[in-house]
Structure formats: C-alpha cells, structure tokens
Structure 1
C-alpha cells in the first residue's frame, strides 16, 4: 500500500499547469477585488449562496445558512475560520487539536455534531470545502481569510449534494476570482505580541477572455503561553500563504477556472497548560517515586499533594497558572498544505449545463507535545503525517421555468502515511527494581480511503409561491489500513526516533509489522426533501427533512495489542433532521431569518479512553433539538447584525464499551454543544468631509460547555463567556485605516481541553483564550 506515486497521473497534471502560477507569486504584487463593494447606506447587502449547487438568493434557499461576504468578515473582525463561531449560531470552531499537537487541527461542530480527534484515521463531522473542493483532513482546517470572497455555513446534515462527512453541516469557502481590469489591494498590520502581517494581490488581464490573480500573505505573532523550562512561547503564529487563479471565458457559454494555493506553517507547539494531575494514578506515582519525591511511594497512591517540589507530580508544584507551562518535552507544530483545482462549466443551452471540478492536494504536518505539561516527562507524543488526495465531481444542471435540478457523480481517494511515537520514560530506580518498565509505543499506519457517490436533487415550482424539492445520494466508501505493532522496552530517558514517511515498513527488534492490510466497506443511501411557500415578496417559509452519513473506519492508535493484533474498528454514524424555518426581508433594511430543528443522532462516533489511549467508539444514540435566529438591520448609516442559537441534547441510548476508563453517562451532554450562543454587532458610519468614520462593537456570548463526551470537569469551560471586540475604521477613497481590540475585557476562558485524569496517566490539559490584544491595520485599493 504505497502512498507516494499512487496518484502519479493526477500529480503530473496538477503540477504542470500550476508551476508558473506558484512561481509568479514569489514577486510582490498588488490587486483589487472589485466584486465586493460592501453595502450601500440604508440598504441590505445582497446575499447569494450556492448551497444547492447553483447560485440563488439566501432568502430563496430552504436551508439554515449563515453567509458572509469579505466586507462582512472584515467589519466583524473575523480573521480566520476559528473566529466564525463569534458570528454564526450553533457553530463551534476551535483550533489546536489536543490529540495531534498541531496548531492547525480544526475541531468543528455544528448543532452539537462534529469531531475533536484530528488523527488521520478519523474523519471530520463537518465538511470543509474550498472552491467546491472537499478538504479530507481536520488538520489544515484552520485558515486565514486573506483572499476569500465569501463564506457559507450550512447547518444540519448535507447528505445529498455534499455527502462525504457533512453529517453536522458544511463550511464553504470561496476564493476571490480574477478581476477584469488591472488593479490591486495591499494590506499591512501590526499589533500586540509582536504581530506583523501583510497581504498583497494583483489582478492581471491577459486578454479579453483571459485573466489571472496572484496573492501572497504572511502573519507572525508571538505566543501567549510561556514554558518556564526554556522560555519557548507556545501558541505563536508563523504562516505564509500564496494563491493563484486563472480564468478563461472564450465565449458566453464556457468558463474554465484554474486555481492553486500553498500554505506553510512553522510554529512552536499548542498553548496547552496544566489543568490537573491525579496523584493516585500509576504514572504520576511512579514518576514521583522514581525521581525521589519526599514521601512518595509506589504502587500508588502516595504522592504528597501539598508540597512544592519539582520531583513530585502534584498540583501544588505544576499548576503554574493560565499562561505558564511547566513542560520540557519537545513542542513543535509544522504544516505544508498545497493544492490545485480545475473547474469547467459549459452552458450548452439556456436550460442545460455541465460542470466538472477536478482537484489534487497534498498535506504534510507534524506535532509534538508534552501531554502532562510538567517537568517530569510523564507522557509526551510526536506525531507526523503525509498524505495526498484526488477528487473529481461531475454535474449536469437543468433549469427551466418550473423545474431545476442537478445529477452528479463524485469520486474521492486519499492515501496517508502516519507516524506516532509515545515514549514513557520510567526513572532508573523503578526500572532497576522491576516495579514498572518504561515504554516506547511506536505506531505507524498506512491509510487508504476511497469514496464514490451518485446524487441528484430536483426542485419543482408547482406555483409561483409553492416549491417542492427532493434529492437522494448513494455512497460507497472503502477504508483500508496497515499498521505496526508496538514495542515495550526498559526506557529510562526520553527518546526521539527519526522516521522517513512514505517508505515501506521494515521490521526491527521488538517491532512487529502486520503484513496484511485491513479493509472495511460502507454503503449508504441518504435523502433530503423540502417544501417551501412564499407568502409574499417579503416572507418565505419551509419545512425540510435531511439525512447524513459518516462512514466507519479504524483507529490507528492502540494501547495494548488487540486480539490477533488487529486495529480497533468503529462503525458508521447517521443523523436525521427535521427543520422548520422562515426567511424574511421586511422593507429595504431589515432581514430576519429563523429555524427550529430536531435531530436523531445514531451510532455516534465519540472518543473514549481504552487504558490511556483515546479511541473512537460508537457510543449510542442522542436527540438534539434547537433553534436559530439571525437578524440584519440597516437603517441609514446604522448597521446591526445579530444572531442567537439554542441547543438541547440528551443521550437516549448509551453503548457499553468494555475496558474503557472514560465513558458517557446518562446525564452527559455532547461536546462543543453549549446550550446558548448569541452575538451582536453594531456599527455606525459618520461622514467626515470626504471620509467615512465607522466605530463598531461586536459582542458574542457562549454558555458553559464540555470538550469531551465524558464531560470531564477538570477541562470543561464551566462559566458563561461574553467576548467584546471593538474597532474604529477610517475610509478615505481607496485607503482604509483601522484600529481595534480583540477580547477587550480581557476574558480568560478555556477554548479546548484534553483529559486522561481518570486513566493510569492521570493528567489533564487545557488551552485558554489569548488575552486582550490591540491591532492597527492599513489597506489601499488600486
């Protein structure tokens, strides 16, 4: 099962046309985006969405959608995907995946459904698409909005038109297309924590029918958590991106768009800090005894809790506060992510069109973390991964006066080489006495995923007011894996074993290779239907039903060799949602949309601990109910944007998983599913001579939430959080100057957590928000 070379033809095709564009990005350049002029005073922005594979008004689409233009993102201080939960209801978008050590590992949840494990054997629960291209992995899902024209957030299962791993919903990003005239934009910014960022882009008309766009951006910022061991700043940012696009319109019926992008990140580790340690568990007791902690004995429990001594694994010594870390193991995070795509649309007649979307991507990343966040080397992990993916989607689109529809086919394949090293260094006295051996878990997996789907959806306009929509999708998915076994040795000191990814397995002393790959196949038919009625030009209501499906797979982690040394498999999960909504535009300056929904979430894929190892299991069934409200009010120079979300979830059935140390209880709630979420943004345009001065305040509220299915209290965010951002923008002709503050009230709240507190490892870690930070930026259009 080789990884490299599997998509040789696709790689050659993708690289051949992309090389000149990537090279062209090396030179500084400037561009203008004339497509988004922002709103006119006293009027609403027109919002166009593509949730049904065609362009249509947000107000005519019977789906709960939040949509934001580039101008809307900028004025609401939404700089990246992880900020989207400040403006969209029932969305949680967190970075710093706790199980990978990588800063770009996205944890995305919509209406309580998502996935927090960013490892390559686990698929996300919310699909992320860039220019209609599905991004297969959670790592790489934290993206800056440097050259994005719009963002759409589709809530609820999208199992018909999008399919793969959109059981919770989908996030659609669209990059900026080339303009018809030569022009540009340039932007620079500085801020607290030595923030420096810049972005330049250029639109280059090549001929009447051919235009290109090139952009380059960079962002650097110091971390906000300090390791006392070596002074390393965790949570820093060091990112460089380039993008290019070429659009050819030889006639009125044919459009060919070629795109390419490249992202590189080279940063310190995630900003985790110590949350708690369980002095009665095996690892803390063994480490304390072996290092000579006064009064510590082994077997546990016997670690003094009230003395401050670096030889003791206890809270008194290692709880250093919210922004200081006591770890000493390597903490690194790196990523290289690039891809190319070609989109061809051919309008054969006024009623019939064909569309093809072809894409190839490569992703290579690594993450190292000190899991216990102490100076005692209780547990740390080194994770590396390299993979590539190829996708092809074909669509036949029909649009007549009464009937609109799409028939399509989708193919996706990816190959991944994963490497995970987990050393536990037992102190020499314990090893010599035979009380506890050190261990070195060397885990490597080759993963192959293939997906094929056929889909269709049709909308029939029965009358001018009544429309009926129905669709269905058939999916076949194959998951394959080949893994190593692990070795246990008398390890007395931490080690780092270099590895070369994308090479054949070679057995060594104590390292056993399972020669045969394992493979599971999954099939599903999912559907959707809706009925919508437009009561007048201002108000539309709809009732919809949709299904979602996410295939099963294999855990590449394991704690002890399962029977026959087999990987631990898990089954598919499903969701079924009924939704009732209305969309309205009352006059020229008020838009009000709302939805209520009920979801049955079955065979849930949730993370339990088997021993100390996080593994995905099917946890049972839950019911999720909720509501969402979104409002935009734009009278004159005033602009008010608000939304609110409510979630109520409960476990109806709980699956018993033998041997697990963290399980789901009947009173637990789903992770990343706060009961209440709301936001409010208010801005006012003051005309000052030839300039416009706009003060703006954005407030977001999130009620308490848990970060794992076990509802581990030691890492939960148990207080409500109200976050205040503010800015002042001066616009004069082509120039824009902005000064602002994020987290103006300096809230210190938890944004992610990871707990092995009840396992033999006995540790828990959390990430807190970045403290209050100021910024100033300037941009100019040409």
Structure 2
C-alpha cells in the first residue's frame, strides 16, 4: 500500500494539472477561504486567528469563550496526528484509550466515564468534522486527514452546536476545495519502521465546480514485545481517504458533497505489568500465585522483569483492533444577504472488530473477550445565522438517529477453574473437573437512539462595547435497546439464571463467573438548556466576559449488563437506566493582546457543578451477584473548578513561543456508596463501610461501600502545561530563499487517579514529554512550489510513562498499564504547490 501511495503522490502534480485547462492561466477565480494556520495554541502567523466556533469567521480573541486553536501546519510539525496526540498541545483536553472502543475524551475532567464504553451512554465532548457530528468516540483514534485547523471549545456548547455537549467540543475544519489549483505532499520516515505519507490535491473541474482529494497512510512496527507469542505488538496500520466536490452555481450558494473512509488494522492493544497490590481475596488466588504458575518462578516485587518500561508483555490471547469508519455528507450554504442559511445532512458508519486478553496474563483464564460492533447514524442540521451592527443571532434544529448492533463473546480457558474457583483442586473437590474450561457467553446488544433539538443564540450590542449573549436549547432524547446474554457450557448446555439458587455446585460455580441476563431498557426525556454571556471590550485588544450555563448530559441505558439479584439471578432493573446529569457552569475570562499584538495573554476561571454525575460502578456487595467489569450509574454530586492561562508571544517573524497552563480541581462532592478501592476488593463476605488503608477488616472481608466524598475524580491532573516555540534564520540553499528553523514543544501533567475509587495503588505519577525539530523551509518559488525538510525527535529524553492504569478482573491485585510512546525520531519532507 505504501508503494502504491508514493506512486500516487509522485503523480499528484500531473493530476492537479489535469483538473482544468485553466491550470496555467491566471487564477482569478474565487478561492474558498482556508483557516489561518497557527504556530501554537493562541498564536498565529498573522495578527488574528480566524475561528468558526460560532459558525461565522471571526477572531478567536473576539469570541467570549475559552478556546484553544491549533493550525494544521503546527499539528503536522508536532506529530499530533490524532486526538490522543492533540492533548499534548491542549492541557485541558484529556484522552484515554485502552482500545479504540474503550476511549474517553474529556475537557476539564468531564465528557465520558473513564473505563469501558457503554453503547447506551452519550459522550459529553462533541467531535465535529466540517460541522458533521461524530457520535462514536473511537473516531478520535483515527489519523487527522487534510486538516486546516482544530478548535477545542471548553465548557458547555449546547446552544451553539447541533448535538448537546456539556463538557466542550472539538471542531475540526478540513481544507476545502479551491478554484485555484493547489496541492501538498508529505512523507515521513522514522525508527520502529515508522512511515507516514500524505497527499492532497485541489482545483477546478469547471467554472462552477471544484474538487479536493486527500489520502493518508501511517505504518509503524510494534513498540511492545510479547514474550508469549514472540511478536511485536501495539503497531500502527492506518489508512484514510477523503474526497470533496464544491459546486458554486452562483456567488451566493455553495454546495459541498464530501465522502471519507478510514481503516485501522493493528495488533493492539497490549498492556504491560504496572504493579501488584494485595487484596482481600485468598492469597493463593492472587497475582503472585498466578505469576509463579505462568513463569515457574516466584514473584518478586520490583524485579527487573516487572519494570513496565522494559516494554514487555506476556499475553496469550489474540490481539486485534480492527475498525473502519466513514460516511458521506451534503452541506449547502446559501447567502440570503442579511444572513446565511446552512443545511448539513450526513450518514456515517463505524465497524469494530476486536480481540482482547482480558485476564491480562499469560495463562488461559479468559481466552476470548470481544465485542464486535456495527453502528450507523444519520444527522440533519438546519441553521440560520444573521449579522448586523447591533445584533447577531443563530437559530437551528438538529435531528440525530443512531442504530448499534453489538455481538459480544467471552470464553473461559483451561486455567479458569484454578484461578477463579479453586486453586487447591483435589479429587474430592467438584471443581477439579475443570468446569470452567470452554464456558462461554454470547452477548447480543441492540440500541436505537433518537434525538431532536431546537437551539438558538443571540449577540445583542446595546452599547458600543457591551454584548449580551443569551442562548437556549430544547432537547428530546429517546433510547431503546436490549441486552441478551446466553451462557453455555463447553458441551453447549444453556444455563438458566435460576440455577443460581436451584442448581448443583458446578452450575452455581459456573454462573458465578458468567451470568445469563436478558432485559430491554428504554429512556426518554425532554430537557431545557440555557446560558447567558456578558462580554465587554475594555479596549480594542482587551476583552472580558462572564458566562453562566444551565445544561444537561442526556440520560442513558446500561447495555453491558447490570448486577443481578444474588438469590434469583435476575437482573436488578433499577440499574438499567441512567438519569441525566444536571450541569451548572460558571466562567470568567479575559483576553488580551499587548505590545502591538505581539503578545497574547488569555485567562479563564471556571466552576462546573454536576448533579447525577454518570460514572462507572462495579457490583461488590452481598445483595448483588455480578460478573461485570463495570456499569454506569449516577453519583449524587461532583465539581470541577480551576484556572486556565494561554500565553503566546511573537516579538519578531524570527521567533515565537507559547505556553498553555491549566489548574483543575475536580472532586466528588458527595459519593457515599462508592465501590471499594482495589486494595479492599475481593472479599467473600461484606461488612460495614470501613475503607481505611491499611484495613482493619479481617482477611476475606470487603466493605459494602466507601464514602469517597472530597476525593479526586479519575483521569484529571491538578496541573497540566503545554509549551513550545520556534526560532528561524534566513538561509538560501541552491538559489532558493528560505529559513533554517529550530522548534520545540512539550507537555507536563501532574499525577492523576486512574480508577473511579482513588487509592495510592491506582495513582499514576506525573511526567514531562519534550519534542524537538530542526529543518529548512523555502519560500514558494516562481512556479509556486514550497519545500519543508526537517528532522524530529519526540519524547526526546525517552521518558517512560503510563497513559492509563487498569485493574485486572477478579480482584487478583494485578495492575496493568497502557504505555505511552518511547523516544522516536525521523525525518519529514513536505512539498506544497
């Protein structure tokens, strides 16, 4: 594929010339505006960064909301080719992914529960590409494709965007078709066999029709060695295609038809050993005993073989993270003189085909654990924007329809009986017959999700410097689905849930590991959101604003199973639906430009209070029987508050620097019935709420629940910082004027909890990552060709760090982690014409 791609990119200039016979003529045709390219978040090549956050072109400094802007060229230079890399440039954005389906994208700590994805729960951070809403957060793991600019909007955006988003929005603008021929080619090679190639061509197909086509492919060998299989895992294998047609029949109408397709097929996502902590489970069923059987050696804490940054794993199950994403959209934009009417119709799909090792060990305990899923969505948005000296306003309506079909499968292996039931099997023990080997569960999940809304926002200027901006949204959501888990023995015998109390010892033991369930939840509700922003222009370069928002995160349904009654084995239906979150957000901000706009300094202080916060729970008490890794339920109250500072300076065209800082204090305000931390899990009996560590409970006893009010929410660092800069000198090479440049960027984040119930064992340390690049770029010559050649090194000091921690199931005390990338280096050649 790479070879074919390079041949394609080599032919790109010829293809561009074939777009129109007017290629060599003076290109006086209209050119679709492209987003201003920023050098760093908050600083551009020009005096102002043009954004479309409010669906009109305006300076980012004039928009009364907290917004981070990253230009396409800066994204390429920093190697931020997906949302996971983008978080290194925007400190208030958090990204966690144990695999593409189990991905969370949060802003200021909110957006999606950290942990397993649940089909029946919506995300709180909206991802939009050219105004099209992407409902599956797995799309954030794909490569950016021909991106012109990315805007990260912080805080609720329900009165501004189609789908209600309570935490923020990521607004991605791709480069648009142009009536002036242009193109770009980029090829990158690096260590670990890294190879990335990108190309895009654009130009006229006639007087009224223009086209743009882009392709991207990324390959990289695995960065983790699997000693069980003798292979390298966690590789990259990404392909992306995007085509657009722009029809401009009159000066007042643009119609854009776009289609895209992306595919990933990686051997992913292996975890590594991250630690062991004793639990309340029997000692001979915890990880040291498992390790001894798997390796033939005694477990030794802090041994070299237990160092996660040796980048070694020992998983025995097949690993696969195969997914395809794509769709088509039709966008029509009509200039009516006083205002603009825009219609966006889109259909999208997502196909997910995984394979995981969910016992996280080299033993065949859980040999298969996968949830292949197929999703389709249709969206229709219609909005009207009008601008005048005294009043701007936008009104719109948005319809969303989604269908998901997921067919999960889990199977237990030959080692399951020993480690899940009876490590001391004997001839007199009924479990000696390996009753779990081949036990399996087929989980059929269905969801139909419908949403409709009407929204509006106005900007009224009663005084020259004062703007009053109210907004309102009316929203209706309806979800209906089903969860049907059928459990069979190795012989194909179907187990009934009633056997939990009436079955023999073997059947009860089997149902204690995999439990059949069947239920059909539904949810529907109307909601009203509103906000009010007051902004004041102190001077032409100093803007202050204050915002209050009252909004909601739509309710949902649990489609991963729910806890079952310990006596009847039937699902506890009170857990099948999840109440909406009630969100109140307060924000104060000031945006300034100083020293003839050579320095930009923006500050934002915020507080977000959420009632009925949606979080991941695990059943762990005497009244419930559950083999679940997690289900979603409501926490009474949480709060996030903090301060964000964006700074950039461009004292001359030869030098620029930027730094973005975020302090975030995100805590549970009231959570009295939280599941115990991993140290206190695994008891065979339950007693009280004493959750002190070290515990005073007897071995084999776990607390019924814990009061963690006041403790930190998972996944959020108190302090996060991104920074960077670039210096250049004029240097001509081979008769071409250009510049030699040295650039650097990096990010820091302090420690954070990686589990819903925090503890010392599940807290990850902070880390700092630094990246450097050195290169030469030329001005465009008489033929209009520009060259950029640079070498780069990312994670230059080879900092070993874990992006996410996971607690292995069955309370064996094993902690595993998802590794960040090691030091990588290489070179890039970029041509623009």
Q: TM-score range by the shorter chain?
A: 0.7 to 0.9
- CA 1:480–1:655 in 2, change beyond 3 Å: closer, same or farther? farther
Matching of residue 417 in structure 1 with residue 425 in structure 2: no
Larger Rg, first or second structure (1 or 2): 2
- Tell me, in whole angstroms, the C-alpha distance in 2 between the residues paired with 1:59 and 1:372: 50
The question of 1:572 aligning with 2:580 is answered yes
Q: Which residue of 1 aligns with 2:805?
A: 753
Partner of 1:17: none
From 621, 633, 654, the equivalent of 1:617 is 633
Matched, 1:669 2:716: no
* SS in structure 2 of the partner of residue 746 of structure 1: coil
Cα distance change on mapping 1:709 and 1:491 into 2, 3 Å:
farther
Query: 1:307, CA displacement in angstroms?
Result: 5.4
Q: Distance in 1 between matches of 2:584 and 2:822?
A: 40
Q: Which residue of 2 aligns with 1:684?
A: 727
1:700 maps to 2:747: yes
Pair 486,276 (structure 1): closer, same or farther in 2 beyond 3 Å: farther
**CA gap 1:315/1:453 in 2 versus in 1, 3 angstroms:** farther
Q: Given the alignment of the two structures, is residue 730 of structure 1 paired with residue 730 of structure 2, yes or no?
A: no
Cα distance in 2 for partners of 1:706, 1:748 equals 18
Q: Give the Å deviation of 1:434.
A: 2.5
C-alpha deviations, 1:560-602, integer Å up to 9, x for none?
5457545732211132111110111221311111111111122
Shift of 1:269: 1.6
Aligned partners of 2:45, 2:674: CA distance in 1, in Å? Answer: 56
Take 2:89 and 2:811, find their aligned partners in 1: how far apart are those partners? 40
CA deviations over 1:643-670 (Å, ceiling 9, x no partner): 1110112222115268996866124211
Instruction: Indicate if the aligned counterparts of 2:318 and 2:357 stay in contact, CA closer than 8 A.
Output: yes
Are 2:256 and 1:268 equivalent residues in the alignment? no
Q: What TM-score do the two structures reach when normalised by structure 2?
A: 0.81
- 1:345 pairs with 321, 324, 333, which one? 333
Matched residue, 1:521: 524
Q: Which residue of 2 aligns with 1:549?
A: 552
Q: Secondary structure at the match of 1:613?
A: coil
Map of 1:99-178 to 2, 5 A cutoff?
A: 102-103=99-100, 105-115=102-112, 116=114, 117-162=116-161, 164-178=163-177
Residue among 427, 430, 434 paired with 1:434: 430
Shift of 1:393: 0.5
CA distance in 2, matches of 1:274, 1:39: 40
Once residues 807 and 184 of structure 2 are traced to their aligned partners in structure 1, the CA distance between those partners, rounded to angstroms, is 45
SS in 2 for 1:269: coil
Moved more, 591-600 or 178-187: 178-187
**Distance across 1 between alignment mates of 2:556 and 2:88:** 33
- Work out the CA distance in 1 between the residues paired with 2:67 and 2:409: 41
Match of 1:583 in 2: 591
Contact 1:692 1:730 in 2 (8 A): yes
Distance, in Å, in 2 between the alignment partners of 1:512 and 1:580 is: 50
Q: CA deviation at 1:512?
A: 11
Q: Which of 327, 346, 350 is equivalent to 1:359?
A: 346
Deviation at 1:367, TM superposition (A): 2.0
Partner residue of 1:16? none
Distance in 1, matches of 2:330 and 2:441, equals 42
Cα distance change on mapping 1:38 and 1:90 into 2, 3 Å: closer
Q: Which moved more, 1:422-431 or 1:312-321?
A: 312-321
Superposed counterparts of 1:454-465, under 5 Å: 454-465=454-465
Q: Determine the C-alpha separation between the residues in 1 that align with 2:746 and 2:279.
A: 43
The residue that corresponds to 1:484 in the other structure is 484
3-state SS of paired residue (1:140) = helix
Contact kept, 8 Å, 1:634 with 1:640, in 2: the verdict is yes
The answer to whether the 8 A contact 1:224-1:271 is kept is no
* Deviation of 1:305 (Å): 8.6
Q: Which moved more, 1:563-572 or 1:143-152?
A: 563-572
Contact 2:37–2:44 (CA<8 Å) still a contact in 1?
no
Change (3 A) 1:372 1:715: farther
Q: 1:247 to 1:589 in 2, by over 3 A?
A: same
- Is this contact kept in 1: 2:291–2:298, CA < 8 A? no
Measured on the aligned residues, the alpha-carbon RMSD in Å equals 3.1
Distance 1:309 1:52, change over 3 A: closer
Instruction: Return the TM-score normalized by structure 1.
Output: 0.86
Q: 1:537 aligns with which of 528, 540, 544?
A: 540
2-side partners of 1:704 and 1:302: how far apart? Answer: 25
CA 1:135–1:34: 2 relative to 1, 3 Å: closer
Could you say which residue in structure 1 is the equivalent of 2:73?
71
Shift of 1:426: 5.1
> SS of the residue aligned with 2:753?
coil
C-alpha deviation, 1:334, in angstroms: 0.4
Alpha-carbon shift at residue 51 of structure 1 (Å): 2.0
Query: What is aligned with 2:373?
Result: 385
Q: CA deviation at 1:303?
A: 6.0
Residues in 2 aligned to 1:765 and 1:136: alpha-carbon distance in whole angstroms: 29
Asked whether the 8 Å contact 2:483–2:560 carries over to 1, the reply is no
Q: State the Cα distance separating 1:486 from its structure 2 match.
A: 3.2
Residue 700 (structure 2) aligns with = none
Tell whether the 8 Å contact from 1:716 to 1:750 is kept in structure 2 after alignment. no
Q: Which residue of 2 aligns with 1:600?
A: 609
The 5-angstrom pairing of residues 193-342 of structure 1 reads: 193-277=192-276, 300=285, 304=289, 310=295, 319=306, 321-322=308-309, 323-342=311-330
For 1:42 and 1:616, locate their aligned partners in 2 and report how far apart those are by CA, in whole Å: 42
Helix, strand or coil at the partner of 1:650: strand
Residue by residue over 1:373-432, the C-alpha shift from the partner in whole angstroms, topping out at 9 and shown as x without a partner, is 221123352121001000000112222221111111100010001122222335477698
The answer to whether the 8 Å contact 2:554/2:580 transfers is: yes
Q: How does 1:369-380 map to 2 (within 5 A)?
A: 369-379=356-366, 380=368
Distance 1:770 1:724 in 2: 12
How many Å separate the matches in 1 of 2:644 and 2:469?
22
Residue 180 of structure 1 corresponds to which residue in structure 2? 179
1:469-522 CA-to-partner distances (Å, cap 9, x unmatched) read: 001001110111112133153699xxxxxxxxxxxxxxxxx9999887431102
Residue 61 of structure 2 aligns to a residue whose secondary structure is helix
Q: Determine the structure 2 residue equivalent to 1:3.
A: none
SS for the counterpart of 2:81 is coil
CA contact (8 A) 2:162 2:397 kept: no
What is the rounded CA distance, in whole Å, between the counterparts of 1:667 and 1:489 in structure 2? 45
- Partner in structure 2 of residue 778 of structure 1: 829
Q: 1:110 to 1:302 in 2, by over 3 A?
A: closer
1:377–1:49 Cα change, 3 Å:
same
Aligned equivalents of 1:449, 1:305: Cα separation in 2 = 43
C-alpha displacement of 1:141: 1.7
Aligned to 2:816: 765
- Sort the Cα spacing of 1:589 and 1:486 in 2 relative to 1 into closer, same or farther, 3 A: same
- The residue aligned with 2:642 is 626
1:740 aligns with 2:792: yes
Q: Is 1:696–1:728's contact at 8 Å kept on the other side of the alignment? A: yes
- SS of the aligned residue for 1:139 comes to helix
Return the alpha-carbon distance in structure 2 between the equivalents of residues 512 and 638 of structure 1.
Answer: 63
Go from structure 1 to structure 2 and tell me whether the alpha carbon gap of 1:125 and 1:707 turns closer, same or farther (over 3 Å shift).
Answer: farther
Number of residues of Structure 1 aligned to a counterpart in Structure 2: 720
Which secondary structure state, in structure 1, belongs to the residue aligned with residue 87 of structure 2?
A: helix
Contact 1:304 1:312 in 2 (8 A): no
Cα pair distance change 1:452/1:39, threshold 3 Å: closer
Kindly indicate whether the alpha-carbon contact (under 8 Å) linking 1:715 and 1:765 is maintained by their aligned counterparts in 2. Answer: no
Residue matched to 2:664: 647
Cα 1:104–1:27 change in 2 (3 A) is farther
| SS of match in other structure, 1:141 | helix
Q: Using the alignment, how far apart are the partners of 2:184 and 2:755 within structure 1?
A: 43
